[in-house]
Amino acid sequence: MSVPPATLYGLGVGPGDPELLTLKAHRILTSAPVVAYPKPDTGESFARSIVAGYLRKEQEEIAIEVPMRVERFPAAEVYEAAAKRIAADLKAGRDVAVLCEGDPFFYGSFMYLFERLASKFPTEIVPGVSSVMAAGAASARPIAARNDVFTVIPAPLEDREIATRIALSEAFAIIKLGRHFMRVKTLIETLRLTGSCRYCERVSLAEERVMPLAEASDTAPYFSMILGYRGAEKAIRGR
Amino acid sequence: MSVPPATLYGLGVGPGDPELLTLKAHRILTSAPVVAYPKPDTGESFARSIVAGYLRKEQEEIAIEVPMRVERFPAAEVYEAAAKRIAADLKAGRDVAVLCEGDPFFYGSFMYLFERLASKFPTEIVPGVSSVMAAGAASARPIAARNDVFTVIPAPLEDREIATRIALSEAFAIIKLGRHFMRVKTLIETLRLTGSCRYCERVSLAEERVMPLAEASDTAPYFSMILGYRGAEKAIRGR
């Protein structure tokens, strides 16, 4: 007798504070027999560390080892192999919860598993709190309001590309800073917007650091962003 | 003997499904002696309806009646009066949880209370799941990935302003559709992007409707959005 296929869950686990999981993510996480997560080839899985306190030792864990060169398109073979292993569990009737930092579909790597598995198995995405929202909360200033245009700009883009997007936005987040941080910081100084920007690092974690961009040091980890708001004068225009 | 001032919470309650509250929002909501929320002058409060099942009758409720003309800057007097009433509770040592649909600082009205109260009382913002993330989950397609530029564009902007922002984005969300829906739909047809867009309405609720934009009817409520993804050909460029 064949077992009905189980469900693949893309589980948003939020920006870092374990209490920022949704009730739904918590329920699915604690009841799934199999939990999968990305993990750098050296070091710990950030997604797993967020939910570590909720895991039970009876749960099977699948660590998907992703090469550390974050700038490059992750090796297709890694996700191919992980998809095969997850598919085996699903075929055996075991639900698999894939842990996704922040939200699964917002700049996440879950899409690589999704595109390989979603057409073959029942799939559900559980949205999560994005680090952008957590950065707004931590910096005690609205991210965007009323009819503001809000743009998320990855730092690896060229200066000219970044500047053009900023010019057309009342509010913006520059993500994936890492080794691009000083270049972007200099660009923002050139645009005379430093005073409108906050630097946000590891938001919602104990190590959280949030400060005016002018006070930030010269290095930034991958899990950091700049939140900018240049809407003050535009708001007066009545938009 | 004076009572120490209590804490003002801006509580993100997510896009609509009560299970999409965070564990933190649930904890604070169920322990706060006072709960405040915006409410249209006619009809029910959407924020309150999301958490109705978690409220206890011992909790004091403050309904902030907001005039229905959503396009106009809400009357300052309404928030002035609400801030005074909330301040009285805080001074008396009673924590106040203000319910915010989605995330408090992402196109929310909480900012009007925040700017009146945060300098006078301990204030904490609890980030929430935005309806943008929930729309991505419901439409079973990534919102943004890799080095995509993602832009949130309010529908009340003029066609030319909307088109310029779309042109500079791999991914976009057009929010606050309401009476602007047909104009925006026509604009997207003119830009030949209809095939890349999904229409998302009341996401995560029982009444959720998600479909290709081409199949959407001619009217849209305020709680609806268009999610667009035009990155396919750009992704090939290797960005």
Q: Provide the residue-wise pLDDT of chain A in tens; the chain has 239 residues.
A: 567 779 999 999 999 999 999 999 999 999 999 999 999 888 899 999 999 999 999 999 999 998 776 555 557 889 999 999 999 999 999 999 999 999 999 999 999 999 999 999 999 999 999 999 999 999 999 999 999 999 999 999 999 999 999 999 999 999 999 999 999 999 999 999 999 999 999 999 999 999 999 999 989 998 899 999 986 544 433 33
Name the residue among B126, B140, B152 with its Cβ closest to that of A137. Answer: B126
Q: Are residues A125 and A139 in the same domain?
A: no
What pLDDT, on the 0 to 100 scale, is given for residue A223?
87
Name the A residues in 28-87 with CB < 8 Å from any B CB.
73
Chain-chain contact of A145 with B21 (C-beta, under 8 angstroms): no
Q: Are residues B178 and B113 in the same domain?
A: no
Take residue A98 and report the two structure tokens written for it: 């894939």
**B116, burial (CB in 10 Å: exposed 0-12, middle 13-18, buried 19+):** middle
Q: Are residues A138 and A95 in the same domain?
A: no
When the pLDDT of each residue in chain B is averaged and rounded to a whole number, the result is 93
Judge contact between A201 and A223, C-beta under 8 A.
yes
What pLDDT, on the 0 to 100 scale, is given for residue A236?
37
Per CB-CB distance under 8 Å, the chain B contacts of A151 are: 149-152, 165, 169
Q: Where residue B230 falls among pLDDT bands split at 50, 70, 90? A: confident
What pLDDT, on the 0 to 100 scale, is given for residue B231?
64
Per CB-CB distance under 8 Å, the chain A contacts of B154 are: 146-149
Q: What is the dihedral of CA A173, B151, B205, A54, to 10 degrees?
A: -30
Whole-angstrom Cα distance, residue B187 to residue A146?
A: 22
What pLDDT, on the 0 to 100 scale, is given for residue A118?
97
Q: Where residue B234 falls among pLDDT bands split at 50, 70, 90? A: very low
In a domain, B80, yes or no: yes
What is the complex's ipTM, to 2 decimals?
0.94
Name which of B232, B216, B236 is nearest B224 in CA terms: B216
**Tell me: the pLDDT tens digits for B31-54?**
999 999 999 888 899 999 999 999
Judge contact between B149 and A165, C-beta under 8 A.
yes
| B151: β partners | A151, B172
Average pLDDT of the segment spanning B121-147: 97
In a domain, A83, yes or no: yes
Q: Are residues B125 and B182 in the same domain?
A: no
What pLDDT, on the 0 to 100 scale, is given for residue A74?
58
Q: Are residues A86 and A111 in the same domain?
A: yes
In a domain, B111, yes or no: yes
Q: Are residues B123 and B226 in the same domain?
A: no
In a domain, B69, yes or no: yes
Q: Are residues B70 and B181 in the same domain?
A: no
A73: closest chain B residue by CA: B146
A145: closest chain B residue by CA: B107
- How far the first Cα of chain A sits from its last, in Å, is 63
Question: Mean pLDDT lowest for which of A116-125, B39-48, B76-85, B227-236?
Answer: B227-236
Q: For position A196, which CATH number holds?
A: 3.30.950.10
Range of the domain at B73: 8-129
Q: Single out the residue in B79, B103, B129 at which a domain terminates.
A: B129
In a domain, B1, yes or no: no
What pLDDT, on the 0 to 100 scale, is given for residue B41?
84
Q: Single out the residue in B113, B129, B145 at which a domain terminates.
A: B129
Q: Are residues B117 and B193 in the same domain?
A: no
B137: closest chain A residue by CA: A125
Judge contact between A66 and A74, C-beta under 8 A.
yes
Q: Three-state DSSP class for A108?
A: coil
Q: What is the maximal distance between C-alpha atoms in chain A?
A: 69
Share above pLDDT 90 across residues of chain B, in percent, rounded to a whole number:
85
Per CB-CB distance under 8 Å, the chain B contacts of A18 are: 23
Q: Give the neighbor-by-neighbor strand order of the sheet with A8-12.
A: A60-66, A34-40, A96-100, A8-12, A123-126
What pLDDT, on the 0 to 100 scale, is given for residue A2?
66
What pLDDT, on the 0 to 100 scale, is given for residue B4?
77
Q: Are residues B179 and B198 in the same domain?
A: yes
Q: Single out the residue in A94, A129, A164 at which a domain terminates.
A: A129
Q: For position B112, which CATH number holds?
A: 3.40.1010.10
Between A and B, how many CB-CB pairs are < 8 A?
Answer: 180
Give, in order, the Cα–Cα distances in Å from A225 to each of A135, A181, A188. Answer: 8, 9, 13
What pLDDT, on the 0 to 100 scale, is given for residue A69?
64
Q: Are residues A226 and A162 in the same domain?
A: yes
**Tell me: the pLDDT tens digits for B195-206?**
999 999 999 999
